[in-house]
Structure 1
Amino acid sequence: MRRDLDLALVRAFLTVVESGGVTRAAAVLGMSQAAASQQIKRLEEALDCRLFERQGRGLVLAPAGERLLAQARRLVAMNDEVWSSMRTPQFEGEVRFGVPYDIIGSFVPPILRGFAKAQPRVRVSLVCEDSKIVREQLKSGGVDLALTTETECGRHGETLRTDRLVWVGTPGGDAHLKDPLPVSLGAPTCVFRPIAIEALGKTRRDWRAVCEVSRLEPVYAVLEAGLAVAPLLRSSVPERFEIFAGAAARAAKLPSLPEFRINLYAPPGLSPAARDLADHVRASFSGRPRGNQMPNN
């Protein structure tokens, strides 16, 4: 005879694992410790196995609990996906989303993928320009919301992440050792350009411009050819390139570069669809706890 699992019991099991113990899980679930323990006991009775074993003053997953963990995560995730898709209002229309070249490939694809799945009737028009231009289009109404890379955060903005600007080149190349230093600086509107020039000037490092466009395809081509170095955000650097830091940076007389902020601008008066896209952006940057955490009381 088929039997159905009580999803509340499965969720309690996951919460104990991910929060680090029954006491903390009870707080997350909004119930007493005794009630949380009772839910774990009911799940063990339903599955006819022990899910946790006591080790010292804490708990560890029993073999059966380890087997259940991945399946429980899939089950709860599927439940939450179905619930969200059925309960989330279905919007229509268009959202114009401004994003700078330097982070579009690193951060935007999963945001758009998740939003398209949640709101299939909303069309997202992507506007890719330097952060300075994106901010101007936000003010003029050319885009509805925007991501930017800036040293500060302006009005109606919120910082989602900070990241350091670093010097990047090709592994095994010698462009970083040349004098004058060949640099890919981006277009005049690129926010990294004046920062890099100022840093090079302070250290009296002679340099020459090799590539002065903001689109990343030609920048990457110049880097891969070993013709120049470029300032990029650390989190956006493809694995095929080398980040010059520490001794390598000092040997090449590459100046230290500052941290930048990845900001989201979602001004008042947005449409419901634009507000929902903004929520998807925030969720993507906030991330979620991962990995097998052993519970302890």
Structure 2
Amino acid sequence: MRHPDLELDLLRAFVAVAETGSFTAAADVVHRSQSAVSQKVLRLEEILGRRVFDRTSRMLGLTPDGERLLVAARQMLEFNDRFLRGWREPPASGTLRLGVSEDFIPGQLPKLLARFGRLYPDVHIALMTGLSCNLLEAYDADRVDAVIVKRSGANGRGRVIWREPLVWLASADYQLDFTKPARLVMLAAPCSYREQMIAALDSVRRDWVAACTASSLMGVQAAVAGGLGVTLLGRSFVQEGIQILRAPELWPALPMTEVSVLGEDRAPDLVEPLITFLSQSLAGHDGLTIAA
């Protein structure tokens, strides 16, 4: 008995919905209308004879069959993309000296690099991580070929590849006392997070004290998770044991933060595949549920 073929565009629509969590966001990822994406998922379910999503008025989630399909669908799409890339383009190879800021989706970066490594097995990445200001110094001194860094007023360089909202963070069980100055966890100056935190609180005349000064963003996360105080970071820094504070009159609204890449002109044969990969992987992601 011959089984029906699974069409790649159906699988691509399914993966987009699974990763973005909505048909509307998935439509932007695959550049189709929402109704077209919905029809593709329905056609896929018809071919499989199984439901892959549980749909309610309030949520959209994968069924057990959908979870099983997601693993296989990613593998099939990855094989397809890798094959066509190798067929049409000379394979990228060599060593890419890459600097990546601690600001850039800390919980998801290892998965992204793992996927990139499978797609470009001949590219060796010499990875440097740290604060954006230090990575920019390394880039200007030609110690790295490319950097992915936080964009700020003083650093408007490079192409933006990621945006996310800044949020106020505290430990899950942190006890707020608005009768006392806000206890802040921050990096040492100069630091754009520190400057934005102080400016935001000053705008609502909120008193504050520095409860902890850390030398790295990992240190800030640890201090916040331990209950030492409140900080300001991108939403991707939310992890187990840390909550987003929502009290607009006391914790003022914050702008978006941007991450950009520099180095396209230094090693284009190596940097361009990385930028293309990151742009495609991050397109449409809001909740940051990127899977390896």
TM-score, length-scaled by structure 2: 0.68
**Are the equivalent residues in 1 in contact too, given 2:146–2:266 (CA < 8 A)?**
no
2:260 equivalent to 1:263: yes
Partner deviation per Cα, 1:73-97 (whole Å, 9 max, x = no partner): 7777555433443442443322122
CA–CA distance in 2 between the matches of 1:282 and 1:261? 13
Amino acid across the alignment from 2:133: K
- C-alpha change, 1:197 and 1:144, in structure 2 (3 Å) is same
Determine the structure 2 residue equivalent to 1:210: 211
Determine the structure 2 residue equivalent to 1:286: 283
Determine the structure 1 residue equivalent to 2:222: 221
2:67 equivalent to 1:65: no
CA–CA distance in 2 between the matches of 1:62 and 1:144? 43
Cα distance, 1:240 vs. partner? Answer: 2.1
**Are the equivalent residues in 2 in contact too, given 1:94–1:123 (CA < 8 A)?**
yes
Larger radius of gyration: 1
Percent sequence identity over matched residues?
25
TM-score, length-scaled by structure 1: 0.67
1:1-297 equivalences under 5 Å are 3=2, 10-11=7-8, 61=43, 64-67=46-49, 78-86=75-83, 87-88=85-86, 89-151=90-152, 154-155=156-157, 157-174=158-175, 177=178, 179-246=180-247, 249-250=248-249, 253-287=250-284
CA–CA distance in 1 between the matches of 2:45 and 2:82? 34
Amino acid across the alignment from 1:65: I
CA–CA distance in 2 between the matches of 1:16 and 1:286? 13
User: More deviation in 264-273 or 179-188?
Assistant: 264-273
* Long gaps (5+) in structure 1: 30-51, 53-58, 289-297
* Long gaps (5+) in structure 2: 18-22, 33-38, 53-65, 286-292
Cα distance, 1:5 vs. partner? Answer: 5.4
Cα distance, 1:242 vs. partner? Answer: 1.2
Determine the structure 1 residue equivalent to 2:58: none
Determine the structure 1 residue equivalent to 2:59: none
Number of residues paired by the alignment? 247
- C-alpha change, 1:5 and 1:123, in structure 2 (3 Å) is same
SS at match of 2:187: coil
CA–CA distance in 2 between the matches of 1:74 and 1:181? 45
Cα distance, 1:268 vs. partner? Answer: 1.5
CA–CA distance in 1 between the matches of 2:111 and 2:202? 38
SS at match of 1:99: strand
SS at match of 1:179: coil
Partner deviation per Cα, 1:145-193 (whole Å, 9 max, x = no partner): 22222246734x2222322211111123225646232211113243211
SS at match of 2:227: coil
CA–CA distance in 2 between the matches of 1:267 and 1:16? 30
CA–CA distance in 2 between the matches of 1:182 and 1:279? 41
- C-alpha change, 1:112 and 1:213, in structure 2 (3 Å) is same
CA–CA distance in 1 between the matches of 2:82 and 2:274? 15
Q: Which has the higher helix share?
A: 1
Partner deviation per Cα, 1:101-145 (whole Å, 9 max, x = no partner): 233523412220111112223221222222222233323322222
Larger RCO: 1 or 2 (CA < 8 Å, sep 6+): 1
